[in-house]
Amino acid sequence: MAFTGKYEIESQENYDEFLKILGIPDDVIEKGRNFKTVTEVVQNGNEFTWSQIYPNKTMSNKFIIDQECEMETMSGKKFKATVTMEGGKVSVRFPNYHQTCEISGDKLIECSTVTGAKGAVTMKRVSKRV
């Protein structure tokens, strides 16, 4: 399937600004800035297991496109969401931001948008297939 694979972060834009709007402490932002986070995706039709592998933690969410499910944020907060797919992009609204993910060649492109006092900020993360 299109999304199935392991991806390692290659670049990210607006990382600090995005996380500051979410209220993440500066020391946590600093620690995470240079992590080579690995994303592992297993897709079976409309069923997904989406895992973020950090140096000291792995976070996984399982979902079926267009069905409400329980998901978890990086901080461990659980919430209900419906993941959709349109034009090959997976889209989900987290409690404080909206995320879209797509495959372009051998890259996983994740765009997360949050709205703060100064307007919307989008963090773009590009990961290469490993």
* One-letter identity of residue 8: E
CB 65 within 8 A of CB 46: yes
Both tokens assigned to 130: 């490993």
CA 18 to chain centre: 13
CB 62 within 8 A of CB 54: no
Q: How many residues does the chain have?
A: 130
**What confidence score (pLDDT) does residue 62 get?**
97
pLDDT range class, residue 84, cuts 50, 70, 90: very high
When comparing pLDDT for 95 and 82, which is higher? 82
Of residues 94, 90, 93, 91, the one with CA closest to residue 103:
90
Fold that domain 5-129 belongs to in CATH: Lipocalin (2.40.128)
Q: What is the mean pLDDT of residues 44-59?
A: 91
CA dihedral of residues 58, 94, 34, 1 (deg, nearest 10): 60
In this prediction the pTM is 0.90
Residue 4, pLDDT > 80, answer yes
pLDDT range class, residue 119, cuts 50, 70, 90: confident
In the chain, where are the structural domains located? 5-129
Both tokens assigned to 39: 């994303």
